Amino acid sequence: MSLDDLHLNLRNLTQDDYPQLKQLMDAVYDDIGGAWPQHSIDRLIQEFPDGQIAIEDDERLVGVALTVRVDYDEFSNPHKYDDLVGNREIILNDPEGDAMYGLDVLIHPDYRGYRLGRRLYEARKELCRSLNLRAILAGGRIPNFHEHPELSPTEYLDRVARKEIHDPILSFQLANDFLVKRLLRKYLPEDEKSQGYATLLEWNNILYEPAERVLENRPTQVRVGAVQWQMRESASVESVLQQVEYFVDAISSYQSDFAVFPELFNAPLMGLQDRATQQDQLAAIRYLAGFTEQFKTEISRMAVSYNINIIAGSMIEVGEDDRLYNVSYLCHRDGDVEKQSKLHITPQERREWVIEGGDELRVFETDAGRVGILICYDVEFPELGRLLADQDMDILFVPFWTDTKNGYLRVRHCSQARAIENECYVVLCGSVGNVPSIRNLDIQYAQSSVFTPSDFAFPHDAVLSETTPNTEMVIFSDLDLTRLTVVRAEGSVTNLKDRRKDLFDLRWRDWSWKSGARQEES
């Protein structure tokens, strides 16, 4: 048959289709009794019309998938085919069932080779997602098992999985992302080719949300506004905070969930000292740290007032040990404030400002996803991003400050690598401008960007949005968290899932003893 002669149409089965359906089932299932009686099919169509899917070619029925709804807990455990059937061959459909059960998939012999079975399976999966059902279950015959009397059922399944043996049903189901959950005995006793055995197969709906949790779930669409901040001479603390509030107001007016600022965005406040005083860089950075508590309080107020979560770039904090730390504050819109210290300190920060690295790394739970923060240099260490990804991070924020383009490109390329290898969004936010009157602020280079995994669901270059280089502006991006769920489970490649944990692992050391929380071993 020529492809030019095909005129395929996917639709739901109707009761008028029964004569053709009977012919198809009698031909395909001649070894196990043939077609269901008409009253069984009619009732199935009445009770679950969306689950009965047909493919026709010029009104000729050439493919069918029959499906019922079932209780997952009952049918994910050992059962028999007869458990699906009541008196008078009535197929037992549970309208409150939280899973679908694949009864039959039939393709007309003349139409095999056109992958119509795959179309039917994809239609089933789409229906499962749209109905928010937990999974698709199926009892799969293994009709070629009788040809291998030297093998046990489990050995046969293993050989089919390794593609050493082809089974027309099991091989097809494995190729369509179904997993063998268990071996079923005496599933269909009259199936002599399978010798009564079957596989219980499952396709898991990764987007399933239990009904009782729907109201609790975070949104799947998250809007982020990132400020490419202009470093400028400032006359007062109030003028800088006024500029921050201007951007927060603007970003929140677009119903954004996050506003993001760059690393050390308030550094120009060192210029409030006279030029001679600034020459002592350690004194200058401690002077800057004196404004941090005020900024943290005011930005937290803005987060609540404007109903937006704010990644407050980073600021210098004097720790309880009187040492200096470069700290990013996450100001939640409910008033909570959490922080992430920079862990890796650049040579310049150590040399000029004697800044210390923090010793904690965490993922923050927000009302718009699970987020991590790596400040500038930290994103160049891939272990940190992977540790965050292992805690189910959705969005990685990278506030940064670079003076030259080559420094910026280190941060950019490493950020893009983190998005790809950890299958997450990365929001890169930096500062621009020149402040010659302040040491270490004389030049900046930035092009703030939002990076994505590199797969079909995302932009072709894995860049969702980016600013004009070296220009003060705001970029907005809508991040679809559902796409992350799908790419992690069903992407062209699945970086997180495919790691060889049998060969290597990664762990975070326990440094709690530094604060006295952990007793030294005797």
Domains and their CATH numbers in the chain: 8-204 (3.40.630.30), 221-495 (3.60.110.10)
pLDDT at position 88: 67
Residue 218 is predicted with a pLDDT of 60
Residue 81's pLDDT is 87
Cβ atoms 462, 452 nearer than 8 A? yes
- Residue 153 · residue 46 · CB < 8 Å: no
Sign, Cα dihedral of 418, 420, 421, 422: positive
The one catalytic residue in 128, 202, 317, 342 is 342
Catalytic, out of 56, 263, 423, 472: 263
pLDDT reported for residue 4: 58
Is 497 among the catalytic positions? no
Provide the pLDDT for residue 42: 94
What's the CA angle centered on 104, arms 100 and 109, to 5 degrees? 145
Total H helices, total E strands in the chain: 14, 22
CB-side neighbour CA atoms (13 Å) of 82? 10
Sheet holding 449-451, edge to edge: 364-366, 369-373, 395-399, 425-429, 449-451, 463-466
Asked about 352 being catalytic, the answer comes back as no
Measuring CA to CA, which residue among 385, 460, 387 is closest to residue 425? 385
Would you state the pLDDT for residue 362? 94
Tell me which DSSP letter residue 52 carries: -
3-state SS class at 225: strand
Maximum pairwise Cα distance, the chain: 97
- pLDDT of the chain along its 522 residues, tens only? 555 577 889 999 999 999 999 999 998 887 777 788 999 999 999 999 999 999 999 889 999 999 999 999 999 999 998 898 877 678 889 999 999 999 989 999 888 888 899 999 999 999 999 999 999 999 999 999 999 999 999 999 999 999 999 999 999 999 888 999 999 999 988 888 999 999 999 999 988 888 655 445 567 899 999 999 999 888 899 999 999 999 999 999 999 999 999 999 999 998 887 776 767 888 889 999 999 999 999 999 999 999 999 999 999 999 999 999 999 999 999 999 999 999 999 998 999 899 999 999 999 999 999 999 999 999 999 999 999 999 999 999 999 999 999 999 999 999 999 999 999 999 999 999 888 777 777 788 999 999 999 999 999 999 999 999 999 999 999 999 999 989 998 899 999 989 998 899 898 887 665 555 444 433
Q: What is the CA radius of gyration of the chain?
A: 30
What are the residues facing 398 on neighbouring strands?
428
pLDDT given at position 441:
74
Q: How far apart are CA 250 and CA 456, in angstroms?
A: 32
Give the model's pLDDT for residue 511: 63
Q: Which of 128, 331, 376, 429 is the catalytic position?
A: 376
Is residue 186 part of the annotated active site? The answer reads no
